[in-house]
Structure 1
């Protein structure tokens, strides 16, 4: 692992020393700070290779991939791209179809809000949003903000999480044409193939888009689990997936405002292999199976009225999940879950003075869940949130306090007590006047609402369970190269402290066959996150690099009498990092990426039995323009994942794939 981290640092240092003659970006920053065009590499495209000063609107740590960079990195899903951000861990159960959830600074995936085009993706049943379902091909950008964005015009939901992930879908850009067409096909290891097509059309002042994609994979990769207790090899079975996605988009400008509409359907069937445990028959545990059908429609309208800005959002979803699992005796049981949501949101920002602005927002969401599990009662939830924020911009210093009001009421047999909470937060930034150095800090107290499964699931739910609280504190800075320098770089550093109280955990009651949800745990943590970006040109070669490093210590403080008290919490490495280097010259484009993690433990009882070794993976993407005629382009792409064939586990006994290869072709017209 020491060699791996040394390699990361050397990549960043080498890129920094090679920097010559780059341009700077002087793009304007919107008043509400919603977008961030001034973040090179992380928020701009590699093709333009630009860096400039951060702006006061970003008072919280932010990381982002966008544009051409996202396509050159070529992640399989949104989750794979997020794994390169500092402080982020993707919980991956292995394989193409395995569930992928995101955890930021060890607060748990339930404290991460996932948004698509500014509207939250929710799962009231279990709180888990599977980011593996979202293809990076249809996204224009992926960004992560710790705490929340520092903008004024946003929904109250954005204040309601410890960190937020924003997925921004591609908006048509016609460049003098009235239509665009993009077709892609990729085939690779484990009988994987994935075609996709995107069509865009402009009709007057209206832009339309249609995306369709399909994925099929057997997912039958070989694996090896090797430690001091065992050396197990085999082939992963039951990890197949077949999925399809269709989305339609519309953009228009009625009544002098901006309107966007999006409808999407996702359908899949997949196997979910269990942990690798050899049976007496010599075979490994077969997989459970899952069928998904998710439908959503959402719309957004934004308009300015002098010093006022108005944002209206609406979203409706209907999801169905069928789950089949094996029970004792080799038989299986299948259950169906139906979940619906409908939400409305209104946000208003006002800037009466140059140094003073504010924002108000109100959200209402209705969720329900029904299933055929025995003794389960239909449950619905009304979730109301209101947020108010004030921003004082006094020259080089900006202060933004905010407060969130939450009311959650459930309707079912034996419903939990109505929840009413007020959550404060404050963000402050200071810059030196030249835009070279910016310091920032934030403090936030927030909570996550117990899910339907936490409260009501048959035999395990506990209607008396309390919310899980998280308190965050952060201080950091950004240092960027001055305008006109030959070396373009940006260094970001943050030190943070977290505390999670009333952690929701499952504990056995009476026997190992009956569990219940309880408020039992407390976690205290802190750490350091670093990221360095750099851009240069060398002998006609455009080179960009990103290096990140995170140190984190998050300890279990639940019960002083417990053997795991004071131990590092499960699956949190002390050290982790990443590196991405891209190079482009003429028709050739190369992207080399590295992910690494130090040692971890599978339980708070940190000992040899629970130790998981560190790991690192290297991926390579190489593309070349085959034909470039007018505005049409044909490109070939070769990808190698886990190039060095590292044998590792992110979750104990869920081995990850070895080396994989794929070849693809892309046609843009």
Structure 2
């Protein structure tokens, strides 16, 4: 595989250099405009309206149930986190499962163990959430959405959601470029000379014919060098029973063509001189074949297949000394997709493949000027290309340049944070006409007030202006002529409060409560209207949306005695996401598709000595599957309950555990996406040993 990576990198780097030369004129034009932007740096740094946080807390740390102190918090903006120790507690099998309890999150799930899963945060849609994998974005320029079902949790230490962005100044410019950031941190070796290695072997099994063995090898090479390698296999037939309620039938059918076969190898090489001077090189190879079941109503016997082969190589360097910090990231990636549908109504069916390549470079730096005042600058460049075997394809290549200026200012009680993002996007096509380049400045302003000069109680507010350029599918998929699509523009407003208190000498260790009200405005919303004839697919700016909502979160941990602890959390989201495009249209003031007004979740668990038992509950109100809120498109609300348990023990003096999960314990029949029925009651068993 290393040889393949080297060959791929050599060929693709040459291609990227050639592409860059083609783009040199547009880059020079961009640099001239950037020069004008940089002249405004002194005004940015001196303007109190864009001052911000100097908080040393860089992210919301994990809530470890073995801890007796309150977790550290990012308080300036809403942030939620789930750590590896909590994945079982929330019955999480992949990243989509891990975040489904988060306030403001709506996971669109197409059902089954291999079903596609995407996330929408605060009603903005999946295209407005970027996914970071160890500080580097997992990008899909073709569709703009990341399938979270492909991201397993085996090598993940924590998953965090930041709205609208992480608090740190020394971050890639891409972290400023979306309405929310989903950050995935992987495990890094922490070994010593007494035991220079660690091997984890485990297997999951359960319903749908699931067999999921996995292996992790951590090795200390020297005082400064170490590596980690992970192997992961997932096989399942994906068959489960369901009842199609819309035809008033009591007959149970079996969901078919939901099988999945996944193989993944990933790892990293780490050099650590100190926590402030370290280097990492990571690789990831992913290969899968899965069936796409199709809708119950129209295609019960779907034969659609999806093949993926993805790999990337990324490197990151972090350095900090005195008041200066530096972060450099590089990445080369390739994503291959092969889609077949033999039943498609054209000769020979549908058989398409796509190959996406990206080269990415980022540099970020931050300076602490006075102890109260910090400034930061980050610059990203990405060259992304997409090839396909579909007829009359444009073969686009996109150059993306991002520059972000950021600053924070802390007076004690008041904290100000601001950033200005400069985005430049230029497309070139091999055939046909490329869309005109886009260039835009977008600001973010964050303010907090701490009445008591600490983070126990904080009032916070932010405003963010951002936009989304059309992805490759929206702009070029079967585009007979150039599509005149405007960027999708979003304005976000948020006001809220957070309370966090530790109770020393009490049975309650800590309580954390947060509440945020928000208003989002989406203009020139991009609508993709597929057609049975791909050449007649329509993509247009057709909508404006107003989103008003409230997110409330509560977490607590109680230590009853030295052996018994109880944790509990609850989240609630109220969201009215209304179409405000045209008062004369029937869809005016209708709720946008797949957006429930009410979503709630509750999780509670207890640990007693080597035993643990957890309960998870989720509730969603009714939704509509169409912009027209008519009875034909009505989807009933649902609630589901999950149970999980774990027992820790030693096997031949080596730590081990067994775990059992029962999902949807009351066997509810429900659908998240119209006509994609979810499984009823199903089970998973896990055995793991650490050598």
Fold in common (TM above 0.5): yes
Residue in 1 that maps onto 2:344 = 327
Deviation, structure 1 residue 462: 4.8
- In structure 1, the partner of 2:555 is 533
Structure 1 residue 66: Cα displacement: 1.1
TM-score (norm. length: structure 1): 0.90
- Residue 232 (structure 1) shift: 6.1
1:520 partnered with 2:542: yes
Task: Name the residue aligned to 2:151.
Answer: 134
Q: Is the partner of 2:96 in helix, strand or coil?
A: helix
2:242 alignment partner, SS class: strand
CA RMSD of aligned residues (A): 2.1
* Cα deviation, residue 58, structure 1: 3.1
Q: Which residue does the alignment assign to 2:417?
A: 400
Q: Tell me, what secondary structure is at the counterpart of 2:142?
A: coil
1:275-298 CA deviation, whole Å, 9 max, x = no partner?
11267xxxx231310100000011
- Structure 2 distance, partners of 1:246, 1:445, is 39
**In 2, are the aligned partners of 1:32 and 1:152 still within 8 Å (CA)?**
no
8 Å CA contact retained: 1:44, 1:67: no
Cα deviation digits, residues 231-261 of structure 1 (max 9, x gap): 6641111000000110011111369721111
Matches within 5 A, 1:330-479: 331-412=348-429, 413-431=432-450, 432-459=452-479, 462-479=482-499
CA shift for structure 1 position 429: 1.1
SS in 2 for 1:81: helix
The alignment status of 1:237 with 2:256, answered yes or no, reads yes
- Deviation of 1:50 (Å): 3.0
Listed as ranges, the gaps of 5+ residues in structure 2 are 1-52
Q: Is the 8 A contact 2:577 2:591 kept in 1?
A: yes
Q: Which residue of 2 aligns with 1:213?
A: 232
Q: 1:272 to 1:507 in 2, by over 3 A?
A: closer
Structure possessing the higher relative contact order (Cα contacts under 8 Å, 6 or more residues apart):
1
Please give the alpha-carbon distance, in whole angstroms, between the structure 2 residues aligned to 1:223 and 1:259: 50
How far apart are 1:482 and its partner, in Å?
A: 4.5
Larger deviation: 403-412 or 452-461? 452-461
Q: How far apart in 2 are the matches of 1:532 and 1:638?
A: 26
1:16 aligned residue: none
Q: Distance in 1 between matches of 2:199 and 2:116?
A: 31
**Match runs of 1:300-319 below 5 Å:** 300-319=316-335
Query: TM-score scaled to structure 2, two decimals?
Result: 0.88
CA distance in 2, matches of 1:246, 1:391: 40
Question: Which SS does the other structure have where 2:69 is aligned?
Answer: coil
For 1:188-337, list aligned pairs within 5 A: 188-204=206-222, 205-227=224-246, 233-253=252-272, 257-277=277-297, 284-325=300-341, 326-328=343-345, 331-337=348-354
| Cα distance in 2 for residues equivalent to 1:70 and 1:174 | 23
Distance 1:246 1:390 in 2: 39
Matched, 1:99 2:116: yes
Q: Cα distance, 1:427 vs. partner?
A: 0.7
How far the C-alpha of 1:512 sits from its partner, in A, is: 9.9
The separation in 2 between residues aligned to 1:306 and 1:101, in whole angstroms, is 41
Distance in 1, matches of 2:385 and 2:680, equals 41
Q: Aligned partners of 2:284 and 2:310: how far apart in 1?
A: 8
Aligned with residue 36 of structure 1, among 35, 46, 60: 60
Q: Secondary structure at the match of 2:632?
A: helix
Match of residue 514, structure 2, among 492, 510, 519: 492
Whether the aligned pair in 1 keeps the contact of 2:572 and 2:601 (CA below 8 Å) is: yes
**Corresponding residue of 2:590:** 567
Q: Say whether the 8 Å CA contact 2:60–2:81 is kept in structure 1.
A: no
Q: How many residues align?
A: 629
| CA distance in structure 2 between the partners assigned to 1:225 and 1:83 by the alignment | 25
Is this contact kept in 2: 1:462–1:516, CA < 8 A?
Answer: no
CA positional deviation for 1:266? 0.2
Separation (CA, whole Å) in 2 of partners of 1:522 and 1:100: 25
Deviation of 1:151 (Å)? 1.1
Aligned to 2:10: none
| 2:167 aligned counterpart, secondary structure | coil
Is structure 2 residue 526 aligned with structure 1 residue 504? Answer: yes
Residue number in structure 1 paired with 2:21: none
8 A contact 2:54–2:374 mirrored in 1: no
Unaligned runs of 5+ in 1: 1-28, 38-42
Deviations 1:331-359 (A, max 9, x none): 52211100000100000100110111010
> Which range moved further: 114-123 or 612-621?
612-621
